[in-house]
């Protein structure tokens, strides 16, 4: 699979649209002039003049029209002092790994590892991939739906029923996350083999020695070229892409939970979720809580007080 980006004039884009007239699709991504889908490639031309070629024959199809843009990115956030990250890490082919949902009372923990090659970087920039904290969920979903079509990735979901069982047996949330990250990265390495990433970057939630202590006894522990850094979403688009895909999955799980609950469940861990959990208790009984929430959060007792149970 190859992905390329070309910079074209309005006249050239008009010629391309005519050339792909038999393959044009009606649903256009925001900011695009036209979109087409051949049996082996998706082509999207934007008002900015950039034209994206994605899919099995993306690079070959792009070559019909000229030379692809160089895979460069603007400087991201500076690595944490002492992290020893390569200076050019933002331009490397890496597996990025990130998670969402750890601080939410409702909803599962979702972990994603995603492989972004050097040549994918201009594509991700054009799609708008960035630190997901800067974007609203609807925009994240729009971008993530495109990312999952061409980025090798692994998505793992730890639903609250299983989470609560593990937590009650004494497993910390940090250990759960380490297990999920290690497994997701392993899955991506298997998908892209024999190709290897230049590095693996994990959005740091625990210092390296603690992370590997959590993995002690696991059959397969990924150590080669693994790097850790806080705010890694701003350092490499691979981590930002992983975070977006994880958030996309997380939001979809929330939609499912809301349908099961019969009302819209709020995100986070504030007063609104206390009231929502109390309503859930009153509507369906407290025995359903393990399926919906992380029981060890203080919100559980607050919800019970509100529901007077």
Query: CA angle at residue 163 from 174 to 151, to 5 degrees?
Result: 70
* Among 191, 190, 231, 264, residue whose Cα is nearest residue 89: 231
H or E element, residue 38: strand 32-38
Q: What angle do CA 116, 71, 233 make, to 5 degrees?
A: 45
Regarding beta strands 199-203 and 94-100, do their DSSP bridges make them parallel or antiparallel, or are they unpaired? parallel
* DSSP secondary structure letter of residue 265: P
Pair of tokens at residue 171? 């497993």
**Three-class DSSP category at 182:** helix
Strand partners of residue 100:
110
Tell whether residue 203 is among the known ligand binding residues.
Answer: yes
What tokens appear for 126 in the block?
């054009």
- The torsion of the CA quartet 140, 145, 151, 153, rounded to 10 degrees, works out to 80
Report the C-alpha gap between 75 and 72 in whole angstroms: 9
Q: H or E element: which one contains 97?
A: strand 94-100
In terms of Cβ atoms closer than 10 Å to its own Cβ (0-12, 13-18, 19+), residue 124 is: buried
Helix (H), strand (E) at residue 176: helix 173-192
Local structure of 282: helix, strand or coil? helix
Residues making up the binding site for a divalent metal cation: 98-99, 203
Residues making up the binding site: 98-99, 203
């Amino acid at each position: 699979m190859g992905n390329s980006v070309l910079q074209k004039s309005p006249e050239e884009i008009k010629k391309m649209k005519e050339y792909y007239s038999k393959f044009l699709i009606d649903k256009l991504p925001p900011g695009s002039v036209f979109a087409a889908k051949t049996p082996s490639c998706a082509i999207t031309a934007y008002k900015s003049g950039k034209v994206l070629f994605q899919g099995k024959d993306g690079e070959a199809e792009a070559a019909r029209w000229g030379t692809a843009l160089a895979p460069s990115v603007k400087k991201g956030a500076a690595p944490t002092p002492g992290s020893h990250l390569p200076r050019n890490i933002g331009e490397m082919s890496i597996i990025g790994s990130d998670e969402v949902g750890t601080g939410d009372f409702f909803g599962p923990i979702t972990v994603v590892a995603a492989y972004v090659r050097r040549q994918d970087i201009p594509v991700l920039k054009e799609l708008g991939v960035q630190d997901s904290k800067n974007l609203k969920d609807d925009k994240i979903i729009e971008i993530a739906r495109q990312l999952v079509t061409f980025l090798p990735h692994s998505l793992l979901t730890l639903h609250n029923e299983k989470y609560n069982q593990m937590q009650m047996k004494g497993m910390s949330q940090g250990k759960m996350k380490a297990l999920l990250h290690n497994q997701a990265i392993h899955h991506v390495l298997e998908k892209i083999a024999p190709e290897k990433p230049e590095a693996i970057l994990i959005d740091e939630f625990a210092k390296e020695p603690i992370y590997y202590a959590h993995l002690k006894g696991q059959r397969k522990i990924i150590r080669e070229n693994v790097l850790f850094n806080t705010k890694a979403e701003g350092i490499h688009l691979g981590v930002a892409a992983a975070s977006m895909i994880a958030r996309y999955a997380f939001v979809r799980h929330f939609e499912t939970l809301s349908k099961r609950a019969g009302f819209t469940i709020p995100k986070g861990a504030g007063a609104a979720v206390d009231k929502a959990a109390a309503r859930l208790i009153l509507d369906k009984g407290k025995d359903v809580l393990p399926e919906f929430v992380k029981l060890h959060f203080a919100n559980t007792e607050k919800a019970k007080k509100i529901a007077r149970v």
